Structure 1
């Protein structure tokens, strides 16, 4: 169907182009023919006026003038009226039918008498329906000198209707020939165009849709040297180059895919290594903290074994021992939650609850007994899309760095704040973890998130904690940066974490713990 539409459009275009061209040629030709016909009619009118002038008497003779006019009208039906003027250019005789052309005749006769030269021009038909003239008329005027020596001028108004009628008859014959020629030439041109252009292009399109490099892409057998043959050869070379480039691109894509997989594996190993280091340090602190509750439980068990203990005392000892065991279980459960593998799928979670849980882990673990942990929550909305294990690792890494920075100080303070912030058309929840340590040097602020960068003593850190944390935050659509209050009394480094709120986030489900401190 598409091919037939193309062919129909082709033959229609040929027909229209040929028809328009022939009509333009015909219009130009008709104008030339009309000009030639008017020139011949003008010469004929001048001949009639010259014959009439030779027979006009020098003086008077209205009857003689009328006789001459009648003879002219009888000899030529195109004559509308005739007029004559004296040597001063004033009309002395005028025939009937010239009522509408009197002014034009006066001007033409006066010009002919005074200049001694003939003149002519086309006049519009008279207005109204009182005249049979529908087309333009030709006014011819020329001077004369009679045999007796008198001078004057004669003029004639001629109708162009006979010329227009003859031209229209010829025009109808020409239009028939134009139509026939346009049809014949369009059909012939169509078949030639189909043979030379349409069919080769169809074969080109068909082979381009299902090209194969096993065969030459040359649909113009026997016409290799023409334009379409050269086009086919160019397409062959282009397709071969495209196939070669496609193969090279596929190799690059495969190599990039393997490289991305390797980078992903390395990143997971980095996260795992950093987490294991943090777990070791947390476990060392928890081991000492768990020993105290176990000692208390052992003491209560010894008291329960004594016979002089009353029933109420037994219940109280059992209750306290149960509290200590519950405390140990909670510490172990928190450590196991943190030790779970990262890379879970992002899911809605509450930032405040997770941050408070991590702070509780450090408080209970007594990582360093001289450090005070505080938490202030000012966030009305804290629901984000993130991986809970990954976000817990980020918080633990930041808290661990703060603990290491405070290490030598006699009294350390770590403050975690959570609040909302508007950026453009989105709302964010921001977490900042501050310490009162020595801070970060200004030249290191941009480097602390680079892999393997650390200011700790050799063997004290891997330099991967903040790099892994920043990578995870950016993966969830947030950002992470560091600030330093070095030189400001009572304030050290601050690590900022900004995460976009989940689309379904509304007012916080749980009340804000404004001002909550350890």
Structure 2
């Protein structure tokens, strides 16, 4: 879509008109100044000629009419002739002095300017040379200019200087004549500008605008995946070069696009493989945890099964009352329910996760996990203290993955306290789980009373395959899996430890109401 006020043709038209008008006006200013100078010089030359005629008249009057310069002011015919000469030459005032510099004749209304004329006349007598000078200021053609010009010359009679004469011409009529001609010149400038602009637009449209519009139309109609169309006759100038360069650029872009698509495809494939590998690592670590829990479950359900078998033997004996049989059956049912709960908890943990994120209560996950781990032999002698004070504990996460994170941390804490010398003292083995009150996030702190981790090893505990356990007791992937899962949820995990006192694992998770669930990619 072309906007007429911002189109290329409008821009060329505006700039071309501005340049032509500016050039013509500048030329006009120069021509006016030259014309003004020539007219003023002609006025000065006319004044010199008029002074020469005046000199001859004075000389004639002195020689042939027996008059001297002092009594010319009393000769009305001479005064009238001088006035007529001034009018014909377009001069307004005249002043004559004798050789002593005394004024003998003055015509016209000199006013205050008579002193200037008198000074010039006396100087002409002294130097025996003519001169001219400008006085006053008035509005000229385009700026202030001189108001009048005085022309002076010495008067000679029979080769002797007898005085000097000064005449004055006002330059206003010169400026007025130039202003009248200036109006006509401006009209011609306007007409010439129109003709030149139209002719320039015609030429530039053929050589610049039309090829650019054609190129613009082709680019607008160009569709992705199609070859760039060729112009019927590309011009042999910069426009044609631009078109060829654009064509080459689009070809390179198409090649780069294909190469980029290939790279993207390979990266997507690699990303899928990485995700699959991460899922396998998480699953293998989960299976390792399930295997370890299964060992404890097998030990835990052994006692209820032995009790059930004992009750069944008693029921087989004769002599039992119906009330006793009912009591034994109720006890068997209670033990079976206990076994069912233990197996269900293990199955719930070991099932494959859907990966679906949803609103998850962190406190409920922790309490359910502690309940599941109570019968495990690894937790024997360990006192679990939960200080869950956070008023907001809802996060957006996959609850199965979050449960695995908590399980790995608790199992590591249990392993750290397994070899404590003070194992006979129940208070020596304490696992504290805290969630302090926070406004902008959810913080969890798992603190054990184990042997602690040396400072030089603390920075490596989240690395894959890093472990301090004996061979066969750990894969080295537990905390690394925790790190990856929490990172995918937008959270963090870090550790603080003091050798001989224990270790604290700190988890930070964003609360559900503060995050956009679309940004989660666990």
Query: Shared fold by TM > 0.5?
Result: yes
Is the alpha carbon distance of 1:296 and 1:83 closer, same or farther for their aligned partners in structure 2, counting shifts above 3 Å? farther
CA RMSD of aligned residues (A): 3.3
Deviates more, 1:272-281 or 1:445-454: 445-454
> Over residues 207-232 of structure 1, what are the superposed CA-to-partner deviations in whole Å (9 max), with x where a residue is unaligned?
334458976765372744x3223222
1:496 Cα deviation (Å)? 1.7
Residues 47, 151 of structure 2: 8 Å contact kept: no
Give me the whole-angstrom Cα distance separating, in 1, the residues matched to 2:42 and 2:161: 29
Query: CA 1:99–1:300 in structure 2 vs 1: closer, same or farther (change >3 Å)?
Result: farther
Please, which moves more after superposition, 459-468 or 270-279? 459-468
Q: Does 1:13 align with 2:15?
A: yes
Q: How far has the Cα of 1:151 moved from its partner?
A: 5.0
- Preserved CA contact (<8 Å) 1:10 1:190: yes
Map 1:6-85 → 2, pairs under 5 A: 6-56=8-58, 58-64=69-75, 66-76=79-89, 78-85=90-97
- Structure 2 Cα separation of the partners of residues 88 and 361 of structure 1: 140
Greater mean deviation of Cα atoms: 346-355 or 326-335: 326-335
* SS of match in other structure, 1:61: helix
Tell me the secondary structure at the aligned position of residue 196 of structure 1: helix
Q: 1:165 to 1:372 in 2, by over 3 A?
A: same
Task: State the partner residue of 2:107.
Answer: 95
Task: Give unpaired runs (5+ residues) of structure 2.
Answer: 59-67, 424-428, 516-522
Instruction: Determine the structure 2 residue equivalent to 1:183.
Output: 194
1:366-405 residue pairs with structure 2 within 5 A?
366-405=377-416
Cα deviation digits, residues 459-516 of structure 1 (max 9, x gap): 3222222111111111111111222211xx4x223222111223369xxxxxxxxxxx
TM-score after normalising by structure 2: 0.82
Partner of 1:482: 495
Distance in 2 separating the partners of 1:259 and 1:283: 35
SS in 2 for 1:477: coil
Cα distance in 1 for residues equivalent to 2:433 and 2:183:
100
Alpha-carbon distance change, 125 to 244 in structure 1, aligned in 2, over 3 angstroms: closer
Aligned-residue offset at 1:324: 4.5
Q: What CA distance in whole angstroms lies between the structure 2 residues aligned with 1:135 and 1:381?
A: 89
**Residue 450 in 1 paired to residue 467 in 2?**
no
What's the CA shift string for 1:289-341, capped at 9, x where partnerless? 23334444555677788866696x88877776665555444433432332233
CA distance in 1, matches of 2:335, 2:71: 156
Deviation digits for residues 51-85 of structure 1, max 9, x if unmatched? 32443453243244733541223313x32322334
How many angstroms apart in 2 are the aligned matches of 1:67 and 1:198?
Answer: 73
**Distance change in 2, residues 1:62/1:433 (3 Å):** same
Q: Out of 337-346 and 393-402, give the one that drifted further.
A: 337-346
Asked whether the equivalents of residues 491 and 507 of structure 2 are also in contact (C-alpha less than 8 Å), the reply is yes
Q: Judge conservation of contact 1:343–1:390 (CA < 8 Å) in 2.
A: no
Match in the other structure for 1:415: 432
- C-alpha displacement at 1:192, in angstroms? 1.2
Shift of 1:450: 1.9
Instruction: Give the Å deviation of 1:258.
Output: 0.7
CA distance in 1, matches of 2:487, 2:102: 108
Deviation at 1:393, TM superposition (A): 0.6
**Map of 1:159 onto structure 2:** 170
Once residues 122 and 220 of structure 1 are traced to their aligned partners in structure 2, the CA distance between those partners, rounded to angstroms, is: 71
Q: CA deviation at 1:345?
A: 3.3
Provide structure 1 residue ranges, at least 5 long, that are not aligned to the other structure: 127-133, 506-518
Judge conservation of contact 1:200–1:219 (CA < 8 Å) in 2. no
Distance 1:409 1:199 in 2: 90
Quick one: which of 478, 502, 510 aligns to 1:500? 510
- State whether residues 220 and 229 of structure 1, in contact with CA within 8 Å, keep that contact through their aligned partners in structure 2: no
Secondary structure of 1:285's counterpart equals helix
Which aligned pairs between 1:204-215 and structure 2 lie closer than 5 A?
204-211=215-222
CA apart distance, 1:139: 1.8
* Paired position in structure 2 for 1:508: none
Mapped partners of 1:151, 1:294: distance in 2: 161
SS at match of 1:352: helix
Distance change (3 Å), C-alpha of 1:309 and 1:187:
same
Report the alpha carbon displacement of residue 254 of structure 1 after superposing the two structures with TM. Answer: 0.8
> Are 2:298 and 1:287 equivalent residues in the alignment?
yes
Residue pairs, 1:110-509, within 5 angstroms: 112-113=124-125, 116-125=129-138, 136-147=146-157, 149-150=160-161, 152-211=163-222, 218-219=230-231, 221=233, 223-224=235-236, 226-296=237-307, 324-342=335-353, 344-410=355-421, 411=423, 412-421=429-438, 427-486=440-499, 489=500, 491-503=501-513
Relative contact order (C-alpha < 8 Å, sep 6+): which is higher? 1
Q: CA deviation at 1:442?
A: 2.7
Structure 2 distance, partners of 1:88, 1:394, is 127
Give the drift of 1:263.
0.8
Aligned residues: 488
1:36 positional shift? 1.3
Contact 2:70 2:104 in 1 (8 A): no
CA distance 1:307–1:46, shift in 2 (3 Å): farther
Deviates most, 109-118 or 366-375: 109-118
**Bigger CA drift: 105-114 or 17-26?**
105-114
TM-score normalised by the chain length of structure 1: 0.83
Structure 2 CA distance for partners of 1:114 and 1:252, relative to 1, 3 Å: farther
